[in-house]
Structure 1
Amino acid sequence: MPRPDASQKLAATKPKDGPSKGLIGGIIAAILVVAVVVAVFVTQANKSDGSVAGAAVPTGGTKGGHGLRAYPDVKLKANAPTVDLYEDFQCPICNDLEKANGEQILQDAKSGKIKLVWHLMTFLEQNMQNAPASTIAANGLYCAADAGKAAEYHKANFAGQPAKEGTGYTVANIKKFGKEAGITGAALTKFNSCVDKGTYKKYVKATADQAGKDGVTGTPTVKINGKEIKNSSADYSSLLQTKGAWDKVLAKMTK
């Protein structure tokens, strides 16, 4: 909302006899100084690594909440397409995709055939009224990324998704997934601390907010080189139901 013009505001409240011009000028100058300070504060608050001020970025994460690369150290092959995968760890249909083609997608990412970027969303914790289940699961992925085990954690989390939708996740669940991902020793201690503290909660929000700005309204959403595979398409259905469908869909989308 635009700020009312200072001179108009003063004129509207001016006493009948009126203060001196010097006093009016001083008040206007004071208002302008306050406006500048507020503007600087708002600008700095929005200058962050995401849509949330001061959001720490995990290993493999991108500034602005633009997702987490599955294998940030892997050298990409020439013309490797970018695959953006929007998920909520509580989403059962996301788990269908994981079971049917998750392994093949990871293999392609690990070999450098594709650049796989995960965008974690959290809207299901509001829909299911079990907050902060999606948030702590997403935070767990980012904590695992610091240990170099993002892909392993991603797999473990979906494998441990509760059979009953809406049950949600606990901190104990997340720590268990960390162990199952192969995080050990000092790295596990650090991972558990990251989970307990919710180190990447701000980045979780930043990523979820950015997904909304990207126009994503549901999960899983799959984009290849920015082009979305529509959930009404046969390709989308095959990715959820047919093992080995990924190679065909990828080839089709990158012709």
Structure 2
Amino acid sequence: MGGAERSARKRRQNQTTGTVKTSPAAKSSPVAAARKSGGNRNPMIVGALVVVIIAAAVIGGVIYTNSKKSATEGAAIAVKSVDLSLPVTREGAVVVVGKSSAKATIDVYEDFLCPACRAFEDSYSGQIESKLNDGTLKVRYHMLNMLNDRSDPAGYSTDSANAALLAADEGKFLAFHKSLFGSQPEEGARGWTKDQLIDLGRSLGLTSQTFADGVRSGTYDKQISDAFQQVRGTDYLQQEYNGQKAFGTPTLAANNKIIDTSDPNWLTALTG
């Protein structure tokens, strides 16, 4: 077979087999192609994880907030005792504690829901009790309902103040007062219910039907509200708040002047 004949034969074989050359890219399998495109999935996965984490944080925050808001539900108010034997009288919505011969008399304006009032009690209740005990101090407690709308449901400031006045009628004001500040609900959260206030009274020895009925019916509610309206309009009780004069709790006064409690020696100066 000559060279020309061999060349012709080879051409005929190529035409019969239909051989087509393919590029390396065309030889890639579907799996390989998918793996190559898989690089774009990473941002999607990270984004999905971020959404999940944020959602979990939000849900966790809601659960935590709700648990704090309902912290008083099903609980009992811890009893705080006060080892003092002093005259305690109620004058309308004011509770007067101490001997009539005391050198100094102070007026204390508080709300059982007020966090600043609790801070004041934590800092000074021991010193005040000592001065009450040695007969140099008399205290007029004004339990107000300034934050009545700041509990959920609203009304705890009035309910607690009313219960404290009823406790004063039966000589248990100081222990009741100390117990409520010791177990103060959070502002904006669920307060103690009337039944829980009655249970605290029982724990302190207030077992009369008069006390329980008075808590439930709100015996002194109107007096408390009227007293707050009078207090908030009293000129010498106004203080500067953000450039404006207003009334706030706690406020302490003596001889119709506000006491500056930023001075740590204010009580000694008053009774010394």
CA distance in structure 1 between the aligned counterparts of 2:270 and 2:131, rounded to whole angstroms = 15
The letter for the 1-side match of 2:193 is T
Q: 2:255 aligns with which of 221, 225, 228?
A: 225
Identify the residue that residue 205 of structure 1 maps to in structure 2: 225
Matched, 1:60 2:84: no
> By how many angstroms is 1:178 displaced?
1.4
Identify the residue that residue 269 of structure 2 maps to in structure 1: 252
CA distance in structure 2 between the aligned counterparts of 1:166 and 1:132, rounded to whole angstroms = 11
Aligned residues: 174
Structure 1, 82-91 or 198-207: larger mean CA deviation: 198-207
Matched, 1:76 2:101: yes
User: Structure 1 length normalisation: TM-score?
Assistant: 0.61
CA distance in structure 2 between the aligned counterparts of 1:254 and 1:234, rounded to whole angstroms = 17
Q: 2:131 aligns with which of 99, 108, 111?
A: 108
The letter for the 1-side match of 2:89 is G
The letter for the 1-side match of 2:96 is R
CA distance in structure 2 between the aligned counterparts of 1:147 and 1:101, rounded to whole angstroms = 25
Structure 1 residues 213 and 112: CA distance shift in structure 2, 3 A: farther
Identify the residue that residue 13 of structure 1 maps to in structure 2: none
The structure 1 segments of at least 4 consecutive aligned residues displaced by more than 4 Å after TM superposition are: none
Structure 1, 201-210 or 116-125: larger mean CA deviation: 201-210
What is the DSSP-based 3-state SS (H/G/I as helix, E as strand, rest coil) of the residue aligned with 2:199? helix
User: Structure 2 length normalisation: TM-score?
Assistant: 0.57
Name the larger-Rg structure: 2
Superposed CA deviations along residues 216-242 of structure 1, whole A, max 9, x for unmatched, are 411111113322124xx632xxxxxxx
Identify the residue that residue 155 of structure 2 maps to in structure 1: 132
Give the aligned CA root-mean-square deviation in angstroms: 2.3
Alignment of 1:1-255 (within 5 A): 60-63=89-92, 65=93, 67-71=94-98, 74-77=99-102, 80-128=103-151, 130-162=153-185, 164-167=186-189, 168-180=191-203, 182-185=204-207, 187=208, 189-215=209-235, 216=237, 217-230=247-260, 234-235=262-263, 245=264, 248-253=265-270
> By how many angstroms is 1:119 displaced?
1.0
> By how many angstroms is 1:128 displaced?
4.9
